[in-house]
Every structure is written in C-alpha cells, then in structure tokens.
Structure 1
Amino acid sequence: MKNSFYHSRLILVVLIIFNFNCASDKLTKKINETISLDDIETVPEWLNLNVDEVFLTDSLNIWVPTGNFQTSSLIRVPRFPRKFSEEELIENEALKDFEIVNLVKESVLELTAVKNEQVSAQIALGSKKDISKLKVSINGLKASNGEVINKENFQIRYVKYVPIQRARSEYDWSPKLEEIIGEGVSGNMTPDIVGDPLLELKFVDIPAYRAQPVWITFRVPENVNPGTYKGSITISSKQHADVVHKIKLHIQKEKLPDPKDYKFHLDLWLNPSAIAEYYNLEHWSEPHWSMISKYLKDYASRGGKNLATTITHEPWLKPWISNSTRSQIAFGYRSMVQWTLNEKGDWEFDYSVFDRYVDMATQLGIDEAINTFSMAPFKETKQRLHYFDKKDNAFKNLELDIHDVLYKDIWTKFLISFKKYLLSKNLTERTFLGFDEKTEEDMQVLLAIIKTAAPEFLDKIIIAGHPEGDEYAKNLSISYMFFPEQPLERKAVVPVLPTIEGRKSDNKRTTFYLCAEPAHPNALTYSPAIESQLIPWLALKYNTDGYLRWSYNNWTKDPFKNPVFRHNQGDDYYVYPGKDGPISSIRWELLKEGIEDYELFNIIKKAGNIPDKELLKAIELATRNQDGRFKKANDLAKSRNILSINRKGNQTLLSLKNKN
C-alpha cells in the first residue's frame, strides 16, 4: 500500500512538472510571438522584389552595415533594403554605406576603443525565407598575455522598427519629415518604418525578405591592459547551421573618465509625471519613486549634469482646440512644489517632493545645476497656477498674465519662501530659475520682480532660446537654428560665435539645443543615425560646453505604435518605456559615444601629443556635411583615427578599409 501510494504521488509530481514545463514553454513561446519587430501586417510584393535583388543567397545573408565594423552603428539598417542605380551612387556617395556585401567565412570583425569606453557595432541578417529563433552571442575576448574581457561586458540587443507618423508641428513651424528621412527609413508608405528601440531578447524571428540588425555594445573595463583581444561571435538559428566569425578588439592606453566626471555638459529635461502616467502609478508613491530612480540612473549614465524640476503645474502650455491651452506633451507635468492658499488668504509652499527628487538625483551623480521651471509660462501663453484652496477644500486654477499685479504679488511671496528653503538645504548655489524661449520684453518684466523679491537669483538664471539672452543668463542654451549656415543665422539679434567666446571669457556656461528643428543635424526618431554621434562634435566645433534637449522621456500613450503627440517624432523622447525601466535607442547610444569622442578629444588635446592643426582636422572631418543623408560614416572613423595617433606618431590598428 505504501509503495502504491508513493508511486501515485511520484506520478502526480511528474505530471505537475510536465504540465508546468509545457505551460512555461507555451508562455515563453507566447512572449516571443507577441514581440513583433516591425508590426507590419501586410507587405506589398514589390517590396519583397526590392529585397530579393540584394539578398544574393537563398540561405542566410549576413553583412556588416557600412562594410566596416568600426562604423557599422552609424547607419539605420532599412527593414526592406534595396538596390541602388549607378546614377544614385554618383549623386550621393553616402548610399554606398547601405550596400549589402555578405561576410565571407574568413571575415574578421575589428574595433578599436580606449579604456572605460563604450563602443557599439552592428551586424545585419536576412533571408528569402523565414528565420526562427535567431540568436547572436559573443564569448569572452582574450589577449595574447592571457588577460580576458568577460562576456558580461558585452550587450546584444535587437533593433525594433517603429512606424513613422506626421506631426502637428510640421504644419506649424518644424521641418516636414520628407526633409529629414534618409535611406534608413523604408516600408510601404502606410506607414514607413524605421529602426530605433533596442530590445534585449533571448532570440528573434525574422520574416522572409526583411533585414534584421543586431546591436552589439562593448564596454571596455577601465582597468584592462592595452592590447588586442580576440574572440568570436556566433549566429545560430533553427533553420541554419551556426555561423562563427572572429572578433578583434584593439584597446589603447588612454582612459576615459566615468560619466559623472565628464566635462561635456549634458542637460536633458526628464519628466517624472510621464513615468507615473505611462506606468499607471500614483504620483510620488513609492513605486513611482522606484521607477523614477531607474530613469535618473540612465540619464546619469550619459553624464547628465543638470536637473530639470517643476515649481508649477504645466510650465509648457500651448494653444489647443477651441481656444483652449494644454500641455505640449501627451501626459503633462505636475509641480514638485505644492501651492496652497490657507484660510487666512496666505500662500504656503510644500517642497517635500522637490526635496526628495533633488536628493535622489544628487545621490545618482546628477549634482550640478537644478533648473526650476517655471516662473513664467512658455512663450506667450498665460500662466495657470494650480493650487489647493483650504477654505473651500478644493484644488483650483488661477490664470495670470505676467503683467498682472496679482502675478507680481504671488511670485514675490514664492521667491521669498523659495530662497529661504534653498538656504536651509544648502542648495542656493546650485539652483537656477529656468525660462524657455521668452521674449526680451517679458524677461525685463520678470527680472524686475526677481530684483525686488530675491536679487540673489539675478545671477542664477538659465535661458533656452535666442543668443541675446546672454545679457542676463548665467547658463545660456542657444537654439542651433541661429548657428552658422542654419536657417535663422541672419536673424540673430546678437551673433552666435562672438557671444560664445565672450561668455567663455566671463566664465558663463553656454550650450546649444535642438528640438523639432533644424532638419539637420538632429536626433529625431527618423534622423540619420550618424547625426546623433555628430552632436558632441558640434560642441567642439563651436566651443560650447555641451548640449541641451527639452525632453528625455515625454512619450505618447504607445510610443511603439503611435509615436507622435504634437511634435516631430522623437523630439520629445530619447528612450522608450520598458516593463522594468528605460529601453535604449540607437540615438541614445550614439549620443553617449559622441560624448565619449568629446572626452577623448580633450584628453588628447591636454596631453599635447597631436598638433593643433590635426585636432582641427578631426573636428572638420566629423562635422563637415551635417546632413546625415549625404554624410559618409567614414568621416567619423577618420576623426577618431586622428585621435588614435600614439606618442610616437604611429597610427593604431583602426582599419579604414571601408569601401567608401
């Protein structure tokens, strides 16, 4: 009886385990089936014909974008690649970067980097038949002396394609998408698609007649010895035998600082409210704070310096339907300061959320300027103060113009309270009053109020806008539209380059910013990829301290399927929302690698081992032709190669045998 009972229990356990494993397999299968890498339901046959002409083998096609592993990350691989005519290639040599040349068995994939640097590369794959369970893996890389860079330092992600959509701003003021998109965009026009998010997956399925890029990031340890490290990359799938290619990573003796010590001044405006709304979390709840920390950490990983904070609700209102106004983004902004009107009619201010946000960012290394938005609304809209009325036990809105007497009275009280709070927290030196694209006339009104209520802030003003803000901004970010050869250069009241040089001598910070304009260079979802890495080189060219963008994470409700709310796609977010935190993008990775170029440039310049004329040549190569549709990837490779000349004048092993 005991044996019978034992066997019955054993059989039951086996059945439970079997059923659990089956359920687990089904769940895994379901998860992978639901992750579509392009969300296109039907493909016209003519698109397949385009791809058929460039997939030269009926088996697995494997190639390196641009033909050079070192520059392979600098283009977006079109989902539906095509053949180019001789006339097209003569008219635009940059199209050669998009030609497909399959790797041969003997191919060696080579990269050059310095210590503590991140460097990305791509391989691309496709077939005339469906490919399932495709997986790319890399083993550890080993030097001749036995030293190993473990595979934990490598990250493999798969590029997802998102639809391209037109934006309201294109009808209003920003460039049309046709002025921006290049060969990296492809599709059937309903809509076109472009690769941007980078997904971490165990494997992917690739439908027939589609290209799938694989994004590989190498993070070089800071304490590794210089030399050549060898390993291999393996490509496996259900339908094909494993393909193995050799990898060589050449590491130089220079070492980059950690991101928190970057000299490049990165100023992106992160919005905690978008995090709460997208993830359906209660504002300022513990789950919300936990998710905020993940995004702040990601921002810090790029060397983020400035922290954007909100001292009022909706600092960026814009005209909307039926003569109304609303936030210029899908989810809006909540204030980090609670405004309250008490029973006596006096204003009270609660800084507890502001305090925790600043403290969290500081702990993560975002410890320079705290920019507060905003004492004044965006452009010409009126300010809508959101507050709690204790007498009526209700939240209310008060709409004010900056010329109103009540506006001056209320903001005088706030500034007096705010400076007292900052002093108690030892934050006075770090905190700036932030203004975005305000007119000269409005700024004079605002400065008069500040001078009366809290003159300490007169030396703590940050302006994003026109170069004439130089007069009163300690920290000035100038629209790139006013820079040389840009559309508004001749309309600048104050010329940009002399302004930058004058501010340098006065020890004032100057950056430039991009938004939905100009068309080029930019970092929109469908901007040519190379332009994202170009941005920090522009800071070197024009001697600015860094770069600002108004938004880091202002998503739509579904940025993967409906990626546009109001502005050109991607203008308002660098990263995508994932289940457990940020999903990176091609733009976000290349911006970091451009910042690393900036850091290396300054290290080399300080060492004095390369003549200034050669350093200027590196800048010129990197920044010539800022329209990425016509820019060859080798321009940036050549710039880096100049920085790679060692003390004896010999060049490194960086290969420039690109077919371009």
Structure 2
Amino acid sequence: FPMVRFARSLDTRAYFRMGEIVEEKASTPWDQEANFNWVRNWCTFFGKSSRKGVAVIFPQKPRFNYRVVENGFQGLDEWNFVHFRPKAGDRLAHVYYFGMVQDDVIADTRRLASEILNCIPASDAFSYYHPTIWPPKHIENTANVLSEGDECTIWCQDPGALTFPDALPPSTSQRGIKVSAASNECEPIQIVLRPKRKLRDVRLCCTDMAGDGARILAENVEYFFVDSTQVDYQRTENWAKPLIWHTGPIPDPFGLSQARDLAPGVSHPIWIRLNVPRGQNPGTYSGHLKIWASGRVLAEVPLSVRVWNFELPRVTHLKTQYQLWGYDEVRRNWKRYYRDLGEHKVSCGVFLHEPKVSFHNGSLSVDFSAWDSCLSLVIDELGFNCIKLPNATIGGGGGHISNFLGHRYDDPRVEKPFRQYLRMTRHHLEEMGWSDRFFGYLFDEPGEHVIPIIKNAARIMEEEFPQLKTFVASSFHSEAFKGHVDIWCPQYILFNHGHFDGTFVQGARTRGESIWWYNPPHALGMPLIGIRLLPWLNWKYSVQGILLWSINYWKEDNWRDMRTAGEGMLVYPGGNGPRESVRWEMVREGMEDFEYIRILQRELDNALSNPANQTSELIVEVKALFSHIRNNLLPDHPVLFAKPGDVYAARTRIAILIERLKKLTRRFHGPVKNLRLQH
C-alpha cells in the first residue's frame, strides 16, 4: 500500500474524542491500527511544537485502517478498496485530504496551504490537500433579546444556529421580530426562553397578520418545542463514532406537545414555522406573537413579515432522492410521510405502492392501480420531481444482484419479461403524463465484477424506455460506465476528485450527462447552516441533484439511544406520522434558497434580452452579487460552513434584486426554457 511520508518525525498526535481534542505523546499507539471516516473527523499529527500540524482527514462512509510507521502514514484499508485495489505509486487524491490545524481550529487554513505542501513531498503518491475547519459548539450568529423580565429572558436568534441548553442570552436587544418570505414559502423563526424560575404550561399563539388590504391568518403559523437527543460516545456504534460532533444533549427533534413546563437555568429553543400561502399579496404584514405561562401572557412580541413580490414554484428544480425506509410506522402513515417530504421540497422513491407484476406462459401483466393512486398524490399534488422507476434497480451494496419475478437480473430468463415490463410501464407513464419524473436507478455502489450486468441492463432500458435516464451511485468505475450512464452520482466528499475529477466531470457535461452527489454531511451537532448551504453548493458547482441514503434509519430503535450520531435520520417516528427536526427544516430552507437563486438568474436573463439593459447599474449589481456568493460567501467543496447572518443577508439581497429586476422589465415572467445558471 502507498505511504504518506511527512517531512518531520511524528512524536505527538491529537484527535477528536467525546467532544474534546485529545493530545497524546507518540508511543505504542502509533503502531496500532484504527478506524476513522467522515470528512469532519481527523487524526492530527503534530511536530515537536504542538502549535500546528498536518491533519489527515478521512472522507465520509468509507472506512480506513491505518498505521504510522516512523515518519510515515500507511493506509491498510480492508473495506473501501474491495472494488479498487491501490498499488504502490497510485495517486489517491480522491481518498485522503490534508489541512493545517492551529490552536483555535477555525483559523484561516487556506493561508497555510503552502506550509502543508512543504510537509508533503511532491513525489509522494498523495498530493491533494483541502483546508478544514471545525466550528465550535456555539457559532457566531445574530441573536437579540426580545424580552427581559423577572421570570424569563426571551431572545430571537438565527435558525441556522443550534441552541444548546447552556446557551446564554445575547448582550444586544431588539423590539420585535422581522422576517421576509416569498409566496409559497415556509420561513422559520427561532426564539429561546431561559426561565429564572420554573414556568408551567408554556404555550405560544399568534394573531392574524394584517397588511395592505390582506391578511396572513394565524393558522399559517406553527410552533414546536425543540427537544434534545443524547449522544454518548461509548453507546455509539463504532462505524458512527467518527461522525460525532459533540456529545451530551444536542437539540434536534421537535416535541410532540403544544405546551410544556420549562425548567429554570436552561435555554429552551422554540421553532416557529411561518407558512406564506400561494398567491399571497406582496407587502408588509404585522401581528403579535404571544407567549403564555400558567394561563397568562408572559410576553407579547411584535411580528412583522415582508412578503416579496414573487412566488416559489410548486415543483422544485433541484433533483433529489431523500430515501424513506419502509418501517411499519411509515407503512401505517404513508400519506403523512410523503406529504412531509413534499412540504420539505424533496422527493423519494415510491416503493410502498409499486406496480404488481406477474408473468405466465410467456405473457406479462402489470396492475398499475395502487401505484397510480400513490403517484397522483406525490406528483400531481406534492410535486415530487424525481422518482426511481420500480423494478429497475438491479442490485447494490457492491455485488448483490436483485431478483425480478423470482430470478436474478443476470439470469437470461429475465430479459424477455424485463423488456415487456419496461415497454408497458413506459406507455402507461406517457399516457398519465408522468414519464418525465422517473429515472432508472441501476445500481448502488457497484463492484467491478457487476459492471457487465449493469451495462446490459442500461442497454435494455435505452432500447425499451429511451427517455428514462440511467443512474448509478458510485465513486469509482467512471470510465467503465461511459456511454451507459446518464446521471453520475459520486459521494459528496469525492466529487471533483479521483475517478470524478474536474476533467471527467466536464467531459460528462459536454456529453449531455448530469452530475449528482450523494450522502452529504447531516449528522447531529453539525452547524445547521451547513445543511442549508448544500443546495447553494449544488448551484456553485452545477450539480443537478442530491441523493441521501436514508432520512429514517430507525433500525433496532436506533432513534431512542442514537447509536448512529444522527446519520441517516432526519425525522423521528411520531406514532401517527413523522416527528420532524431542526436539521430536516434546514433541508427545506436550502431547497427554497436554490429557487431564489434560480429566479434571480431568470430575471437577469430576461432583463439582458433587452440590449438597452446591458450596461444598467442594476445588471452590474446583480452580477456582482453572484460573484460575491460564489467567491466569498460559499466555502469550497466539501466544507459546509458559513456565518448564518451572512447567508441570510445574501438571501435578502437576492430577493430585493429580484423585485428590482421585475420592475425593470415591467412584465410577468414565466419559466424560462434552457435556463443558464450564472457561474
């Protein structure tokens, strides 16, 4: 296996464990093997001075075994390279990442990039570095006290920041809450109550919000107490331990009750969800938020909402597959779970009601009735934009081959009925007007030995269902699949590296193929703003879709004792439907932000269609904002971190410029075909 050799000996190591950075002198542990994964976790190898050193950062999901030999780092992987065996001298830039770490951890690591390269000889097999940051528990955000009384301190803070139980009130104050949203948008508000003595039966309500001849009714405002879930290092499964950001109580799941008692000396976050209806008149609406305790008003806070003069689309434009697993809880409440996905602007495979297929005497029959009923809900009503075609996934997990009508997909007896099924399904979806919503998810993380089987299935799909886009989730074998895959989906952390480096990605786009990425970070305790930023990075890097392996990985009641650090679990079982979380809310926020950017680009293109606008100061201002977002606001992949206030300021600026561009063109603009995104 290749070695990474550092320019100096390694006599000290530091690593993240149970919420703390632990430093140890090098001794016997240097020669032991250890497992690490996920980009935000590392082993940091310090020199004689413990002030700075090189961080070895491991990508998500693949597990790496390693050992340190003298001043070298040797990979001993026994899992990730099942389908890719490295040889001495191989360039594994897509596997290991390097960054400089200082005492404050979130220093400007880019400035130190040259020092990293000095530590890694140019002749080494590993040549890529990426700066890393590790946000502290309480990140900088905008927060202001709304009410200070004898019983309780109440403040408002950016929803993009977690509120831990030990959070203290800010030093600044403001009168009332001001937010903005487009029509058909859900806008979150986070307030925090820190009682000075026990408060009983705390609940919230809102008045109708009145504007210029219109109202936003109080029924459009929802409230949720945010509970904490405990993350314990020892209780967490070994494969998930490196995902841990913080241990102890981490705020995430929404409470199920609308009222509760609040203990003193603890900060209690409350999530408020403002739903602006479709067709809501633009303007400013004012009302009051009332906080009650023991049957009396504890505080009354002015609430002002600016509704922008544009509306978010019913069907989003960023493709998504946030996969929902079919536990009994989901099957009993499937409509509520699908509605929740639609309300959060993401799609999933409709696996609970698939076509019923039978094959007798050489003839195939398909019953679409139950499937059609479900598709009417998720497509026509909820706006799912991307759905896996049932019975088109031939396998997954390296080398597992699935069955169709009792036979493996590589069995020659399958081809005839499989072709008939594809033809019948294509004709049916075309008749219903749904064919453009489907794609063929061929395989999940394939091994090299199944490539011929996948190619054959892709060929059959192309012949029987030409408009169906073929999809493979894999970070390897990109060259082998050329000509057989329409949608490429490497792991989020491996995008633009290794098999999916910039050259391959650009070539795929030139051939008219799409690029997605899968399994972006979403673990408990990570900065919420990072989850929101993901669709922004989709825009920045022209990545057309997101795949997440699960939003409800509840296996063996994992949700009760959180053995996976939140990996694969954005919603909790609620008994009669999903119990949502603050991380799940940030998914929707990012999806809505993507539509803001898209609408601004649409309005810019419309304005530029008039030659008289080419030199307009407004046009220059819009282009400057795009440049600022791309080069200054957004981090470089794969980092997902920014100050929440900066993100909100950029979003507000986008909305203002959309309204100004609409006035410039002085006409309503519908969807624009072949939209060109600004990059």
Distance 1:453 1:505, change over 3 A: closer
Say which of 169, 185, 204 aligns to 1:100. Answer: 169
1:452/1:149 Cα in 2 relative to 1: closer, same or farther (>3 Å)? closer
- Give 3-state SS (helix, strand or coil) of 2:159's partner: helix
1:195 match:
251
The answer on 1:77 being equivalent to 2:77 is no
Q: 1:466 maps to what in 2? A: 475
338, 341, 345: which is aligned to 1:296?
338
Do residues 588 (structure 1) and 578 (structure 2) align? no
Relative to structure 1, the CA distance from residue 631 to residue 618 in structure 2 (aligned partners, 3 Å threshold; closer, same or farther) is: closer
Distance 1:361 1:60 in 2: 44
Partner of 2:264: 208
User: What letter is aligned with 2:306?
Assistant: H
Q: Given the superposition, is the C-alpha separation of residues 630 and 512 from structure 1 closer, same or farther in structure 2, using an over 3 Å criterion?
A: closer
Match of 2:210 in 1: 142
User: CA 1:452/1:200 → structure 2, altered by over 3 Å: closer, same or farther?
Assistant: closer
Structure 1 CA distance for aligned equivalents of residues 640 and 462 of structure 2: 49
SS at match of 1:77: coil
Q: Which residue of 2 aligns with 1:575?
A: 571
Q: 1:648 to 1:112 in 2, by over 3 A?
A: closer
Q: Shift of residue 559 of structure 1?
A: 5.4
Scaled by the length of structure 2, the TM-score of the pair is 0.64
Which of 406, 425, 428 is the equivalent residue of 1:425?
428
For 1:475 and 1:505, the matched residues in 2 are separated by 13
- The Cα offsets for residues 461-480 of structure 1, whole Å up to 9 and x where unpaired, read as 21112272564221222211
CA distance in 2, matches of 1:167, 1:422: 49
Report Cα offsets for 1:561-580 as digits up to 9, x if no partner. Answer: 2334xxx4333232222233
Contact 1:338 1:387 in 2 (8 A): no
Matched, 1:376 2:386: no
**Counterpart AA for 2:493:** M
Q: Aligned partner of 2:388: which letter? A: I
Are residues 1:632 and 2:643 paired? Answer: yes
8 Å CA contact 1:73–1:122 kept in 2: the answer is yes
SS at match of 2:598: helix
* Cα deviation, residue 148, structure 1: 2.1
For the Cα contact (< 8 Å) 1:532–1:591, is it kept in 2?
Answer: yes
Cα 1:528–1:647 change in 2 (3 A) is: closer
Across the two proteins, how many residue pairs are aligned to each other?
490
> Which residue of structure 2 lines up, in the alignment, with residue 222 of structure 1?
278
Q: Is the 8 A contact 1:122 1:213 kept in 2?
A: yes
Name the CA shift for 1:263/1:450 in 2 (closer, same or farther; >3 Å). Answer: closer
Q: TM-score, normalised by structure 1?
A: 0.65
Conserved in 2, the CA contact under 8 Å of 1:63 and 1:102? no
Question: Paired residue for 1:456, among 429, 445, 464?
Answer: 464
Residue 257 of structure 2 aligns to a residue whose secondary structure is coil
- How far, CA to CA, are the matches of 1:161 and 1:237 in structure 2? 21
The answer to whether the aligner puts 1:60 opposite 2:102 as a matched pair is: no
Quote the Cα distance in structure 2 between the aligned partners of 1:197 and 1:481.
26
* Structure with higher helix content: 1
What is the 5 A alignment of 1:457-606?
460-466=469-475, 468=478, 469=481, 471-483=483-495, 489=497, 492-495=498-501, 497-514=502-519, 522-558=521-557, 560-564=559-563, 568-606=564-602
Asked if 1:278 is matched to 2:306, the reply is no
Q: Would the aligned equivalents of 2:252 and 2:583 in 1 still touch at CA under 8 Å?
A: yes
Bigger share in strand: 2
Distance 1:507 1:385, change over 3 A: closer
Q: Give the direction of change, closer, same or farther, for the CA distance of 1:209–1:375 in structure 2 (3 Å limit).
A: same
Alignment of 1:95-494 (within 5 A): 100-101=169-170, 107-143=175-211, 145-165=212-232, 171-172=238-239, 176-178=242-244, 180-181=245-246, 192-199=248-255, 201-238=257-294, 242-258=298-314, 260=315, 262-271=316-325, 273-274=326-327, 277-278=328-329, 288=332, 291-305=333-347, 307=349, 309=351, 336=354, 357-358=374-375, 360-364=377-381, 365-366=383-384, 368-372=386-390, 375-383=393-401, 385=403, 407-426=410-429, 430-448=438-456, 451=459, 455-456=463-464, 460-466=469-475, 468=478, 469=481, 471-483=483-495, 489=497, 492-494=498-500
Letter in 1 for 2:541: Y
| Closer/same/farther in 2, CA of residues 638 and 424 from structure 1, 3 Å limit | closer
| TM superposition shift of 1:367 | 5.6
Alpha carbons of structure 1 residues 443 and 168: separation in structure 2 relative to 1, 3 Å: farther
Contact 1:621/1:639 (<8 A) preserved:
no
> What displacement does 1:149 show?
1.6
Alpha-carbon distance change, 529 to 453 in structure 1, aligned in 2, over 3 angstroms: closer
Could you tell me whether the CA contact under 8 Å between 2:236 and 2:565 is conserved in 1?
A: no
Deviation at 1:541, TM superposition (A): 1.0
Q: Residues 281 and 309 of structure 2 are in contact (CA less than 8 Å); yes or no, is this contact kept in structure 1?
A: yes
Cα distance in 1 for partners of 2:264, 2:365 equals 60
Q: 1:199 to 1:434 in 2, by over 3 A?
A: farther
Structure 1: how far apart are the matches of 2:234 and 2:342? Answer: 30
Change (3 A) 1:449 1:615: closer
Secondary structure class of the residue paired with 1:298: helix
Are the equivalent residues in 2 in contact too, given 1:134–1:238 (CA < 8 A)? Answer: yes
Amino-acid identity (%): 19
1:51 alignment counterpart: none
Partner amino acid, structure 2, of 1:177: L
Matched-pair contact (CA < 8 Å) for 2:517–2:543: yes
How much does 1:460 deviate? 3.7
Alpha-carbon shift at residue 629 of structure 1 (Å): 9.1
Matched residue, 2:132: none
Match of 2:489, as an amino acid?
S
1:556 touches 1:563 (CA, 8 Å); kept in 2?
no
Residues 265 and 481 (structure 1 numbering): CA distance in 2 closer, same or farther, change over 3 Å? same
Instruction: Give yes or no for contact 2:471–2:485 (8 Å, CA) kept in 1.
Output: yes
Give the Å deviation of 1:362: 3.3
SS at match of 2:226: strand
